[in-house]
Structure 1
Amino acid sequence: MKNLFVRSSARRTACLAVSGLAVTLAAGWGVSTVPAFAQAVPPVSSQPSSVPTPTPRSVPSSFADLANRLLPSVVNVSTSAVLKPAKNDDKGPDSSNPDGPQVPPFQPGSPLEKFFHDYLKHKPTPNQPPRRQQALGSGFIIDASGIIVTNNHVIEDADQVSVTLQDGTEMPARIVGRDSQVDLAVLEVKPKHPLPTVPLGRSDKARIGDWVLAIGNPFGLNGTVTAGIISSRGRNVEHGLYDDYIQTDAAINRGNSGGPLFNLSGEVIGINTLIYGGAGGDSIGIGFAIPADDARGIIDQLRRTGHVSRGWMGLKFQDVTNDIAETLDFHKADGSNGKGTLISEIDPKGPAAKAGLEVGDIITRVGDQDVTGQTMPRIIASILPGAQAQLTVWHKGALKTLPITLGQSPTAPDMPPSDTHQPEHRHAALGELGVTVSSIDADARTQYALTDDQRGVLVSRVEAGSPAASRGIAEGNVITQVGQDQINTPDDFAKAVQRLHDRKKTEVLLLVQDDDGLRWVPVPFLGN
């Protein structure tokens, strides 16, 4: 299923609106998801006020007092960048050119027809001089000297950034640092007087059903306050490696990006970042905010160094399902809660290999924190490179503790290939699984585009309706491991599977290489 949650850079209003509208039209007026940008609308000024530290309280009959205290700490973030003209071989928006962009056949005089006409009229064409594109977002002040937090996508690619306070004061802003992985940025302005600030709260204390306020700059309307509740926590929307969003039904629209999500104590518990949008990409009551607990360390690093350093172990992993736990007898592990991450690949030169971890091991805890496939990336990334962590690992039927010294997370991880192995050409057919495997020879490497150093056995046939077929194993896949046994030949594969069958196991756990990489696949024996 295609991931609809997308991250894009700040763009001119018409481009954003058309992009969101085109996605919706193509999907038959379905739903689309977009970062919470805004179109350029002149800001409406409001009077500043002090921001005393509030105390927790019950739900008020009105949010007016709280909103008035918090508004001065929320700012508009305006960006500008040069919009490059179209290339000489591009077709312009001339309606007489049948190859150029055309207005869809909307009803004459309808708002949609006018919208597309206006967009095409202003679309860059060849020989036009460069123009500047504008975008608006939100932010909030965390230091009276002029330190402001916003989203990275608000200021990404901008060559000019300015900040407007609630009293209308506008100041140029400097980008102190930004992090595209979690979509955060820190700005600095030079005010003449100390600015009102708001504190980062403890997002782990927020509960589903708690009241929250969102303040920001939707559609350029500065100082807009909306209220709602926390709809969910720990939401994974497949927007990135570190997904852990707070979901809220407080109205968040284009332009709220980078704005704060407050609890009733006036603390920032989230940074509004994404919306799940309806027609046109606008809010339908499903918004997402980066938790303050996830943001705090990143903001600190950006302020100190301008960039973020993340810990790295040099491995790939996946969640432990019930089938996998049963196959590895992991459910019998004393001191384990049945959760963890199963290692599927290890960089032989990375920290994990140096610590003695192996493919097929299950990491259950990092320090005193239980881990899952979703939480593992954030926990490891939060540890600074060079620091040591204690791992609790399920290894070949027993729990043990391993120390590991983390490395620096590479920008683009490069998993080195395994050692070269060239077995003789043989076959093994296992009717219990419905799969036939063969050794990897030169012909197989050519036919299936396998590298010269690919180890394992090739899946040369899968019976229709078999257990292997039901689990997504296909011809051309490579099986590199059965349970914790390395597989190099068809005989290795047949013997490993037979051992599990003789032990009355109901499933066999295979480490399978396909176009998407390595993954663990539990396959039941025929009849189970």
Structure 2
Amino acid sequence: MKRFGNLFLVSLLSGATTLGAYKLLFDSDLIHSKSIVTVAPENYSRNVGLGAEAIDFTEAADKTVHTVVHVKNVSYRTTTNPMLEFFYGFGGGQQQQEQVGTGSGVIISEDGYIVTNNHVVKDASDIEITLNNKKTYKAKLIGTDIKMDIAVLKIDTNEKLPYSVFADSDNVKVGEWVLAVGNPYNLTSTVTAGIVSAKARNLDTNGIQSFIQTDAAVNPGNSGGALVNTHGELIGINTMISSQTGSYVGYSFAVPSNITRKIIQDIMEFGNVQRGILGVEGSELNGSASKELGIKETLGFYIKKTTKNSGAEKAGLQTGDIIIKLDNQNISTFAELSGYVNTKRPDDKVLVTFIRKEKTMTTTVTLSKISVSSTEFKGLELENITAADKKKFRVDYGVKIKELNNERLNVYANDLKGGIILSIGNTKITDIESASKIFSNIDEKETVQIEMMTANGQIIRLIL
């Protein structure tokens, strides 16, 4: 009887635990019901220490292949035939030429929201989506983020679609097994396996850098496809390969799921990406940089300058401080710093751990809004260009000269003030953020070449 009583008690406790877990799961679903992004549970296990032959990839592949779609981009380019222009006059030789691009995408909600690369749908007049079951739909472009090469699409369907859930990419480990799933050239979904080769990889291509690097084979048609863990949970969106031939040569890169998820939520809630900044300029440390600066630390982000009126300046950060942690995320490179900040929004608070004169300290920084930030370089006060500037100058990148504080340039003030700087030392300037990064690596006494468009639209080059 006593044994029966103990058995009954164990059964009762097990049942209560199951009911509690069931309630927690569905209560959690209710909390996230307003978001189109579904987040995977945090407590998943890894297949640590297992070779590929000991891991069953079939479950993850089966979960993912039905959520990955083929994306067809149709655009039209106007071409001119000089001979027809001669016979029929201006406009008579113009023809519309259809151009077709393809890539992959990932369904992220049962009602048809899809995430892909911005370059897959860039300049598209029509976008067509083909599911893994061969059904096709016209897609609408909801929004894009050029910096991180992410775009959100929507298809209308009466059926509930299979979709991918987002894992926490901060928990991804180097050496972890992953699958790259794409739908290239409308061949239905294809799967390749590999490991995570590196995290927070900085490719230095003017965008925000914090990619997951993998050796899973990814080719151009797989752009916009899914990078998933062995549970089939999304940890990244495959975005590029590094190759001189355009074909896979051993490694590829994905936008981490945490950054992707934040971009999607911003686009859905605000219509654009809300990007905050710490308000620091500087560089990551290494052996040679630390020796030159005369400091012991070789890991972290060294602050050379804080942006005026930024959250960093208001929180007391100063030149010479070394940032080693943001919240619970260790920081040893610029890519790790920018990657973490780009999962946050303006006015979010971040706990910054830093070293000052060999003492570890902490402060809370409220992130500034990047659109209101500015910087100064060699007496030129610079700011981001607006939509009106882009239209006026017919450019989609650059920084605007707000004020001149350089007496040597006062004679050219009428041309320079209000002009757009396009490149510095042959490096394209996309915005204040990329400009600040370049400035931090240039000594004020160093001579550099600047290419710019004057206020009257003339392209000139200056040596400063």
- TM bin (shorter chain): 0.5 to 0.7
TM alignment of 1:352-371, pairs within 5 A: 352-371=312-331
Task: Give deviations 1:312-336, integer Å, cap 9, x for gaps.
Answer: 23331112334554576643xxxxx
Gaps of 5+ in 1: 1-52, 92-124, 332-336, 421-442, 450-509, 518-528
Local SS of the residue matching 1:79: strand
1:251 match: 217
User: Structure 1: which amino acid aligns with 2:96?
Assistant: P
Distance 1:259 1:347 in 2: 37
> Offset at 1:180?
1.3
Distance change in 2, residues 1:260/1:409 (3 Å): same
> Offset at 1:203?
3.0
Distance 1:297 1:395 in 2: 32
Distance change in 2, residues 1:287/1:320 (3 Å): closer
Local SS of the residue matching 2:216: coil
The structure 2 residue matched to 1:185, chosen from 135, 147, 151, is 151
Distance change in 2, residues 1:354/1:192 (3 Å): same
> Offset at 1:359?
2.9
User: Structure 2: which amino acid aligns with 1:232?
Assistant: A
The structure 2 residue matched to 1:238, chosen from 204, 224, 233, is 204
Query: Does the CA contact (< 8 Å) of 2:275 and 2:344 recur in 1?
Result: yes
Task: Give deviations 1:442-473, integer Å, cap 9, x for gaps.
Answer: x9958xx9xxxxxxxxxxxxxxxxxxxxxxxx
The structure 2 residue matched to 1:390, chosen from 348, 351, 357, is 351
Distance 1:87 1:348 in 2: 54
The structure 2 residue matched to 1:266, chosen from 232, 255, 274, is 232
Is 1:79 the counterpart of 2:73? The answer is yes
How many pairs align? 348
User: Structure 1: which amino acid aligns with 2:316?
Assistant: G
User: Structure 1: which amino acid aligns with 2:120?
Assistant: V
User: Structure 1: which amino acid aligns with 2:183?
Assistant: N
> Offset at 1:273?
0.9
Query: Does the CA contact (< 8 Å) of 2:229 and 2:235 recur in 1?
Result: yes
Distance 1:269 1:252 in 2: 15
Distance 1:75 1:303 in 2: 21
1:347 match: 307
1:317 match: 282
1:127 match: 93
Distance 1:65 1:398 in 2: 49
> Offset at 1:194?
0.4
Is 1:172 the counterpart of 2:138? The answer is yes
Task: Give deviations 1:4-38, integer Å, cap 9, x for gaps.
Answer: xxxxxxxxxxxxxxxxxxxxxxxxxxxxxxxxxxx
1:122 match: none
Is 1:374 the counterpart of 2:340? The answer is no
2:254 match: 289
Higher normalized helix content (fraction of residues): 2
Greater gyration radius: 1
Distance change in 2, residues 1:189/1:357 (3 Å): same
Distance 1:410 1:383 in 2: 15
Query: Does the CA contact (< 8 Å) of 2:59 and 2:232 recur in 1?
Result: no
Distance change in 2, residues 1:301/1:283 (3 Å): same
Task: Give deviations 1:335-391, integer Å, cap 9, x for gaps.
Answer: xx7532222233334333333333333333333433232322222333321233333
The structure 1 residue matched to 2:184, chosen from 218, 241, 249, is 218
Query: Does the CA contact (< 8 Å) of 2:60 and 2:229 recur in 1?
Result: no
Gaps of 5+ in 2: 1-40, 86-90, 381-405, 413-441, 450-464
User: Structure 1: which amino acid aligns with 2:281?
Assistant: K
Task: Give deviations 1:188-238, integer Å, cap 9, x for gaps.
Answer: 111111001121223344334433222212344332222233333332222
User: Structure 1: which amino acid aligns with 2:142?
Assistant: V
Task: Give deviations 1:87-112, integer Å, cap 9, x for gaps.
Answer: 869x9xxxxxxxxxxxxxxxxxxxxx
Q: TM-score, normalised by structure 2?
A: 0.64
- Please say which of residues 387-396 and 197-206 is displaced more in the overlay: 387-396
> Offset at 1:399?
4.4
Query: Does the CA contact (< 8 Å) of 1:347 and 1:416 recur in 2?
Result: no
Query: Does the CA contact (< 8 Å) of 1:74 and 1:216 recur in 2?
Result: yes
Query: Does the CA contact (< 8 Å) of 1:138 and 1:256 recur in 2?
Result: yes
User: Structure 2: which amino acid aligns with 1:376?
Assistant: L
- Please say which of residues 306-315 and 402-411 is displaced more in the overlay: 402-411
2:363 match: 402
Query: Does the CA contact (< 8 Å) of 1:355 and 1:404 recur in 2?
Result: yes
The structure 2 residue matched to 1:514, chosen from 439, 446, 450, is 446
Identity, in percent, stands at 32
Distance 1:416 1:444 in 2: 15
